[in-house]
Amino acid sequence: MLAQEFVRNALIAGTPIALTSGAIGYFVVLRSQVFAGDALTHVAFTGAVAAAAIGIDLRFGLFAATVIVALLLAGVGDRARTDDVAIGVVFVWVLGLGVLLLDAAGGGSIAARTLFGSIFGLGTQATVLAAAIGLALLAALVVVARPLLFATLDPEVAAVRGVRVGLLGTVFLVLLALDAAEATQAVGALLLLGLIAAPAGAAHALTTRPYFALALSAGLALAATWLGVAVAYVFPTMPPSTAIVGAAVVFYAVAMTVGAVRRLPDGSRTPIA
């Protein structure tokens, strides 16, 4: 299986994408911003179609659209929190715009590719670039992890201690946007949420220790990606994006069951390890 170049490319690009999505997903769930993440991933679609309509590199459109909408969401939310009604209305309009552009570009294949991704379709150059961006995002996340955790768990105290809570919220949304644009190339704008929410939800169900959960979430996302690539390779009718997200959803279901079993009658949990 590894002798095939497209499988190697899928794993090389998929690994940093999975690690970043899993790690960022931990914060997304902790901050209850899954809906914002959902909106950003869908918006990536409009960006790609817009780039296709004016004839520039799709990746440029992806990154531009998600970052612009992330800044917009940070702007309408109050105090680094986002307002779900505003998110809904903004992103549905951006999607509507995407439909118009798709009609103008006249391309159904662009739609299928951006909406559902194609991790087996990455060329060598795209793979190297995707891996580099993924690693850079991961590094940036590691740098802000500690203050971000503080600002998320106790915004008031963090603000008193001199943490720039609002700025961190914006930085986080931008990182999420970059990750969404990056991962859209692999699993698609619609399925990406599975890679962000499912491993993180599983990690939250299994442990309350922040750094352990962060690592667990990244690890589960990575496992889902590798498993998904392998399954899609063995069963050619299975789209790789579905296999990856399917594996992540199975992990989540197992973790929820385990978490429910371990919960004590008073609602607290037996600590893991």
Contact flag: residue 272 with another protein (CB under 8 A): no
d(C-alpha 10, C-alpha 124), whole Å: 10
Q: Which stretch binds another protein (CB under 8 A): 5-13, 102-110, 118-126, 155-163?
A: 102-110
| CA neighbor of 244 nearest in space, from 81, 14, 24, 6 | 14
Q: Which of residues 229-268 bind another protein (CB under 8 A)?
A: 237-239, 241-242, 245-246, 248-249, 252
Segment 163-222, which members bind another protein (CB under 8 A)?
188, 190-198, 200-201, 204-205
Choosing from 103, 132, 167, 208, the residue that interacts with another protein (CB under 8 A) is: 103
> Interface with another protein includes 97 (CB under 8 A)?
yes
Applying CB under 8 A, which of residues 3, 106, 109, 162 lies at the interface with another protein? 109
88 binds another protein (CB under 8 A): yes
Structure tokens at 90: 């903004």
Nearer Cβ to another protein (131/246): 246
Among positions 64, 68, 90, 136, the unique one binding another protein when judged by CB under 8 A = 90
Q: Which of 100, 139, 167, 260 binds another protein (CB under 8 A)?
A: 100
Q: C-beta of 18: minimal distance to another protein in Å?
A: 14
- Single residue of 17, 102, 213, 229 touching another protein by CB under 8 A: 102
Residues near another protein (CB under 8 A) are 29-30, 32-35, 37-38, 42, 84-85, 87-93, 95-97, 99-100, 102-103, 108-109, 111-112, 115-116, 188, 190-198, 200-201, 204-205, 237-239, 241-242, 245-246, 248-249, 252
